[in-house]
């Protein structure tokens, strides 16, 4: 008796070629449901409709098609268990050797503009996941394919193994199937949670899944393997970017680019440029034009800018492109690039230039993997509001000082803690990042700022545990400080600032970045 294949697919890519080869080369009989059967019949491929095979019509507008003992018995029967074979014979059920199923396009549906909850509900597949799980469970006796990309590999497997798929191949396909159904269910749960927030219970399970976009050359170091994955079926964030030119993106490039994106979106109202190295900003500035902003950011620390990542919040114009080609850069990201600018940048063929039209599209949560589990937190998307800040010193900030403090505070949010940022004219002039004590970061930032620190402002991502940072800042000429407050010794720092004539503002918000 010919072997039996069940084909029931939403995505019909490669379907006809697969079915034709199964019939002509490997002598399969085919049963299919609804639209799949119609497509095969139109292509002249012999097929039996599921309804004819089961003797039960499709009902409920197609909601029930394959949920039948003749289908699931044929899938789940163990060929080495005599009782199972007896059940098949007594119920006139043929064992199924191949199941090819892909699911209703739920994620594609919810990604469409104007989709209703009712539309989404109808795209929740029931029979498909049931068949996939049953087939994957019984992979010792049959093969299951859930992705058109597997079709040619399966056919080649049959050719190389005398018309049979090896157990190793079936195991691999079963694992892919369980991953596929898990991701499908996760997408449904996430969508319904957004639709029924009042009924959503506290998160007790957190699932991370993704589809590999590309294998990266290596991870942080050459001995570490790495890949880039897309979360969800609909491209978002960096997966929507266009790469205009340059070498292949590396793991470190993508990590730095994401840090740069998070920083640059802090400044939507003015042309802004940021240059980062190892996820820390070495130069950030606002300007009247994007070219001016970049030049100011570059001049802050031209040494560290070498080999850096540049983020711009305005399209690259010719003047900016010319400036960008004057030094070695790893990556540039901007929301656009003018044609003339694109021609100029081509002079630096190796620099990676990415266009990301929506720089604001970031993840709602961040995830870190630790031994035995995950750490999940909301992204630090606090919108800074100076009206909620508290001036704790006798000296009040002027309006320009307050604007400068806000700029410094936004940059400090994106510097590795302990973070100190010194700025003037909405340009960083000193950055102290990642030191083990806060006064150490203060000293590094002020040393970099040099004489420019006189009259500048200083931002600290965390509170000052002692008044030594205030004394060091005052000695360098800092006029105003912004910090979260919250130390047991806040009074010492406030009294010190009053004695030294420095303005100090508390935000009551901390921005540690580990």
Catalytic sites, residue numbers? 137, 278
Distance CA 230, CA 308 (A): 25
Distance CA 414, CA 264 (A): 10
DSSP-based three-state secondary structure for 51: helix
Contact 376, 347 (CB under 8 A): no
Contact 229, 212 (CB under 8 A): yes
The distance of Cα 117 from the centroid of its chain, to the nearest Å, equals 25
Residue 52 has which token pair? Answer: 């004819």
Q: 493-498 contacts: CB < 8 A, separation 24 or more? A: 493/464, 493/466, 493/467, 493/469, 494/392, 494/393, 495/467, 496/467, 496/470, 496/471, 497/392, 497/393, 497/395, 497/470, 498/393, 498/394, 498/395
Strands, sheet with 308-312, edge to edge from the N-terminal-most edge strand? 242-245, 352-355, 329-334, 308-312, 272-277, 280-286, 427-432, 420-424, 457-460, 480-483, 503-506, 390-391
* Helices marked H in 138-231: 151-160, 167-195
Name the nearest CA neighbour of 7 among 66, 76, 57, 90: 66
Distance CA 75, CA 43 (A): 26
Name the nearest CA neighbour of 39 among 60, 58, 67, 11: 11
Question: Apex CA 449: angle with CA 444 and CA 453, to 5°?
Answer: 115
Strands, sheet with 48-49, edge to edge from the N-terminal-most edge strand? 48-49, 28-32, 3-9, 98-102, 143-145
Tell me the three-class secondary structure of 288-332, residue by residue: CCHHHHHHHHHHHCHHHHCCEEEEECCCECHHHHHHHCCCCEEEE
């Amino acid at each position: 008796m010919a072997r039996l294949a069940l084909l029931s697919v939403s995505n019909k890519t490669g379907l006809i070629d697969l079915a034709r080869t199964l019939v002509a080369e490997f002598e399969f009989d085919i049963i299919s449901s609804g639209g799949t059967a119609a497509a095969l019949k139109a292509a002249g491929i012999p097929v039996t409709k599921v309804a004819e095979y089961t003797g039960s019509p499709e009902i409920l507008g197609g909601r029930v098609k394959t949920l039948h003992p003749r289908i699931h018995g044929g899938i789940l029967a163990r060929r080495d268990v005599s009782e199972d074979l007896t059940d098949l014979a007594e119920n006139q059920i043929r064992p199924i050797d191949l199941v090819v199923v892909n699911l209703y396009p739920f994620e594609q549906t919810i990604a469409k503009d104007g989709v209703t909850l009712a539309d989404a509900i109808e795209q929740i597949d029931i029979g498909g996941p049931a068949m996939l799980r049953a087939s994957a469970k019984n992979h010792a006796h049959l093969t299951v394919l859930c992705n058109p990309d597997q079709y040619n590999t399966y056919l080649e497997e049959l050719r190389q193994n005398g018309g049979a798929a090896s157990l190793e191949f079936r195991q691999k396909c079963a694992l892919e199937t369980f991953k596929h159904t898990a991701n499908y269910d996760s997408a449904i749960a996430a969508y319904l949670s957004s639709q029924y927030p009042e009924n959503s219970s506290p998160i007790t399970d957190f699932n991370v899944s993704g589809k590999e976009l590309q294998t990266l050359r290596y991870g942080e170091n050459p001995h570490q393997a790495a890949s880039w994955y897309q979360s969800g079926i609909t491209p978002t964030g960096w997966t929507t970017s266009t790469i205009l030119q340059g070498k292949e993106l590396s793991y470190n490039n993508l990590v730095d680019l994401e840090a740069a994106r998070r920083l640059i979106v802090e400044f939507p109202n003015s042309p802004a440029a940021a240059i980062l190295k190892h996820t820390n900003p070495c130069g950030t500035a606002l300007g009247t034009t994007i070219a001016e902003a970049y030049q100011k950011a570059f001049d802050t620390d031209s040494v560290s800018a070498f080999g850096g990542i540049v983020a711009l919040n305005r399209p690259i114009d010719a003047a900016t492109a010319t400036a960008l080609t004057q030094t070695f850069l790893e990556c540039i990201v901007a929301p656009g690039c003018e044609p003339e600018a694109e021609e100029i940048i081509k002079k630096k063929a190796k620099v990676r230039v990415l266009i990301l039209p929506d720089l604001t599209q970031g993840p709602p949560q961040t995830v870190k993997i630790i031994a035995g589990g995950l750490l999940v937190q909301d992204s630090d998307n606090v919108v800074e509001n100076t009206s909620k800040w508290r001036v704790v010193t006798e000296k009040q900030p002027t309006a320009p000082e307050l604007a400068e403090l806000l700029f410094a505070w936004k940059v400090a949010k994106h510097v590795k803690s302990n973070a100190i940022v010194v700025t003037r004219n909405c340009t960083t002039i000193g950055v102290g990042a990642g030191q083990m004590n806060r006064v150490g970061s203060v000293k590094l930032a002020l040393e970099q700022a040099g004489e420019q620190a006189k009259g500048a402002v200083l931002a600290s991502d965390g509170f000052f545990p002692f008044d030594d940072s205030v004394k060091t800042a005052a000695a360098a000429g800092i006029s105003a400080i912004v910090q979260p407050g919250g130390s047991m010794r806040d009074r010492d720092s406030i009294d010190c600032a009053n004695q030294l004539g420095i303005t100090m503002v508390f935000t009551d918000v901390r921005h540690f970045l580990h």
